[in-house]
Amino acid sequence: MYETEIRHLSGELLESGDVEGIVGYAPGPLPLSAQPFLFRTSSELQNLIFNSFCGMNLARYLVALPKSAGRVAIVAKGCDARAITVLLKERQVEREKLFIIGVPCLGMLDRKRLSARFGELREGDIEFRGEKLIVRGEPVALLEFLDWTCARCRYPRPPLFDVLVGEGTREPLTGGTDGLLRLWELSAEKRWEFFSLELSRCIRCYACRNACPMCYCRECFVELQRPLFAHPAPSLKDNLVFHLGRAMHLGGRCVECGACERACPLGIPVALLTCALSEVVREHFAFEAGVSLEAEPPLLVYREDDPDAFIR
Amino acid sequence: MLSFDRGMVVSWEAFVRWLGHVRPFVTPLVRERLRVIPRDVLTPVTFKTLLFPPREHLYHYSFRERRWELCLEESSPEPAFLLLAPCEARALLDVLDRVFLEEPPTDAYYRRRRERLTFAVVGCTFFETTCFCTRVGGHPLLHRAEDLFLLPLSSGIYLEGFERKVIEGRPLALQDREETERIAASLESQAPSPFPSSLPEKLYGEFESREWESIAWPCLNCGACTFFCPTCFCFDLAVDGKLRGTMVRTWDSCMFPKFTLHASSHNPRGRKEQRVRQRVLHKFSYFPLRMGAFGCVGCGRCLKVCPVGWSIQEAVERMMCCAQDSLPASSPY
Amino acid sequence: MNGEWEPKIVAFLCYWCSYAGADLAGVSRIQYPPNIRVIRVPCSGSVNPLYILKALREGADGVLVSGCHPGDCHYLSGNYFARRKFFLLHELLRFLGLEGRVHFSWVSASEGGRFAQVVQEVTEAVRRLGPQKAFSEEIDTYVRDGNSSSIG
């Protein structure tokens, strides 16, 4: 899916000296996995891939590039391009230093769920035919194996790009907020039961935070000791402060890519928190992060008729 | 090690019943190998959790009537029985026990938990894509003569060192022996070849190589690899409280940017590639040169949990290729 | 103390309106529950959501943040930004099933009686929920099964 186009375009960009490198995906050490990679030579480009296991948000690597670095191209799915837009708006990257290779995305697959059903999978076991998912020759329900953030994605087509390598796009598969809606339908006790269980499993490795392009603070609030907001040792009470604090810091900034949840080694559904706030922002402040370079971030503006009913 | 004369074979039903009585902790690796394990058997995030918990209270303190009062945490943990894979058993015996217990002052908190921990080794009949224990001196069937040992077979499970009154079994039938031989042979043929003994020095010789930057590039600097690693033991001490509180020991990770932040604000490993280089060199150079064994047991958990699929094995191989062309280096010690 | 649990509520009051309103309640000898601990802040907009979480972490059973009415902020727009911020925090806590411990109000400097009423209501609401454990109790959980219970 667009792999050849991306490779071809990247080759041209490198050869013309337009960019110093391409931020993209290379094959990971495990079958059907991808590893973020900075391609600097045409021979390295032989390894460039793009498939439905390229779940890491590459925009995360842009802020880490040294100031002295030259122009880079970046392979950007819809959510990656949204993240780049947020970073541009927050002036963490310069537009002139980026060449955005926009890639329309059909969604990322959950390798664990696939292996649980089909056993160890190899290259060639999985393919997309149009919008159908075929596993070892049999069509399967795409919805069952897509990451839930991808199933509800509204921006498979990058809203910002220099070149778009294809035109394929699709509507959200789950009516927008399915996974979140189901949670909202539960009672408060049931929701707390679910979240207290999941968040108590967190061991504070910060994979979620570090995978997020928007978490670029040099010193995160959890690293502070004076004042101490969340003690470094894992415990539900401190894990709550970390995850709630992080969700608040992403309020109006989260692009719902799901990289945080994919990064979690324990499979804790952390994207639920950040995406829940994205939905609140969408519904009440009519704002979606990373969709427009002009729109003002929701927490930097206000309206006279903002929600007020929760205030006595 | 590979003779199967001392043990017996037990039916899967009897084994599962025994699991129900004994209620061991089962590591995730062992869960992969023994699919019959019931869902309610606890699987700690890593077996380290039972010996070296991510949150350990060292002492409680309070400031009362103008005096500081300390109260050491002396509670004894519950006894625990653990099923470990051979790589994990090696991590426990060759690394963790040595780090915490070998030289005085030994770690009293670790010792208290270690004294109440018993374990059995569950042999592996296959290599996962992520396994490389044989490259670092391990083996999928490795266990000490005094260890309880289990090996899954098709007719049941082979047990060694278990008392008959604990669980009833039968001697090995011919087909069982043949199966163990087939397993051993298959493992031999698939076993990744050991790293050369010159690896620790060769790697150290590559300390200044520019290659580390590109090796380190995808790393997110989270702590997933270190927290799941059976041999990682770094910790931090952080007080929880002010005038009254607890001294807490928690897991720390050399991958965190502030891990080596000095009080002077100098940070010798402020850059990502410095931290990644240190992790590789610690496990494959410094630790073996000092302690005589690799600081990595080849279990592959780091690769499984890494969000970007970073492989320490690949990193070592890449640096070995660089080292081929360089002059031999002197040891750092 | 007679040993019965009383809710501890941390109240962030903006200096120009709510704190003055609380002062007026005091001067007017209006009775209100003694369960709040007041922290005076320059503006409701200066209250970082992390302060609220920290108060809970340190054992507060409830938190109240009170500021000037919209349009009356001494710093012109601080409370407008606060309103958006706190709406997000409120929805986030509600999403987790932790509603009812963190409250917000607009109380002006002349509303001594109203301040007392707000404190009364918030204290009762928190009292009904019982002692707060989510953010302050030590729970030894990491020995649990590492498998996920994702909602899929």
Cα–Cα distance measured from residue B123 to residue A207, given in angstroms and rounded to the nearest whole number:
31
Taking an 8 Å cut-off on Cβ atoms, the answer to whether B44 and C140 are in contact is no
**Cis bond leading into B105, ω under 30°?**
yes
- Between strands A21-27 and A72-76, the pairing is parallel
Residues 6+ apart with CB under 8 A from A154: A172, A176, A288
Q: How many CB atoms lie within 10 A of CB B132?
A: 26
Structure confidence at residue C151 (pLDDT): 28
With a cut of 50, list the residues of chain B below it in pLDDT. 1
Question: Of C72, C94, C96, which to mutate for an interface test with A (greatest number of A Cβ within 10 Å)?
Answer: C96
Closest in C53, C135, C148 to A267, CB measured: C148
Structure confidence at residue B332 (pLDDT): 54
Structure confidence at residue B2 (pLDDT): 66
Task: Look at residue A32 and tell me whether its pLDDT is greater than 90.
Answer: no
B247: left (phi over 0), alpha (psi -120 to 50) or beta: beta
Residue A195 has which token pair?
């979240």
The model's pLDDT over A260-301, given as tens digits with 9 standing for 90+, comes to 999 999 989 999 999 999 999 999 999 999 999 999 999 999
Q: Looking at chain A, which residue has its C-alpha nearest residue B49?
A: A203
Taking an 8 Å cut-off on Cβ atoms, the answer to whether A190 and C93 are in contact is no
Structure confidence at residue A124 (pLDDT): 78
Structure confidence at residue B171 (pLDDT): 87
What's the complex ipTM? 0.93
**Chain CA centroid to CA B34, Å:** 19
- pTM summary value: 0.94
pLDDT-based confidence at residue C152 (cuts at 50, 70, 90): very low
Cα–Cα distance measured from residue C141 to residue C150, given in angstroms and rounded to the nearest whole number:
17
**To which residue do tokens 């601080």 refer?**
C78
Over range C31-54, report the average pLDDT. Answer: 96
Q: Does C143 touch chain B (CB under 8 A)?
A: yes
Question: Of C50, C80, C101, which to mutate for an interface test with A (greatest number of A Cβ within 10 Å)?
Answer: C50
B304 vs A contacts (CB less than 8 Å): 30
Handedness of CA B125, B128, B130, B135 (dihedral sign): positive
- Between strands C36-41 and A98-102, the pairing is unpaired
Structure confidence at residue A261 (pLDDT): 95
The model's pLDDT over B22-72, given as tens digits with 9 standing for 90+, comes to 889 999 889 888 888 888 788 888 889 899 999 999 999 999 899 999 999
Structure confidence at residue C80 (pLDDT): 97
Residue B162 has which token pair?
């278990």
Contact of B57 with B68, CB cutoff 8 Å: no
The model's pLDDT over A179-191, given as tens digits with 9 standing for 90+, comes to 787 889 899 999 9
> What is the helix (H) or strand (E) element at residue B313, kind and residue range?
helix B312-324
Per-residue three-class SS string for chain C: CCCCCCCCEEEEEECCCHHHHHHHHHHCCCCCCCCEEEEEECCHHHCCHHHHHHHHHCCCCEEEEEECCCCCCCCCCHHHHHHHHHHHHHHHHHHHCCCCCEEEEECCCCCHHHHHHHHHHHHHHHHHHCCCCCCCCCCCCCCCCCCCCCCC
Listing DSSP states for A101-114 in one string gives EE------B-HHHH
Task: Look at residue A69 and tell me whether its pLDDT is greater than 90.
Answer: no
User: Between residues B172 and A40, which one has the greater pLDDT?
Assistant: A40
User: Between residues B168 and C101, which one has the greater pLDDT?
Assistant: C101
Average pLDDT of the residues of chain A: 91
Residue C48 has which token pair?
């970082």
Taking an 8 Å cut-off on Cβ atoms, the answer to whether C148 and A237 are in contact is no
**DSSP-derived 3-state class of residue A227:** coil
The model's pLDDT over A117-166, given as tens digits with 9 standing for 90+, comes to 888 788 778 887 766 788 888 888 887 888 989 988 899 999 999 999 98
Closest in C53, C77, C90 to A229, CB measured: C53
Over range A229-250, report the average pLDDT. Answer: 95
> B218 to chain A nearest CA, in Å?
6
C3: left (phi over 0), alpha (psi -120 to 50) or beta: left
Residues 6+ apart with CB under 8 A from B165: none
Partners of A129 in the β-ladder: A132
Closest in A188, A285, A300 to C97, CB measured: A188
Length of chain C as a residue count: 152
**Cis bond leading into A139, ω under 30°?**
no
Q: Please identify among residues 164-203 of chain A the ones whose CB lies closer than 8 Å to any CB of chain C.
A: 179, 182-184, 187-198, 200-201, 203
Question: Of C87, C90, C103, C108, which to mutate for an interface test with A (greatest number of A Cβ within 10 Å)?
Answer: C87
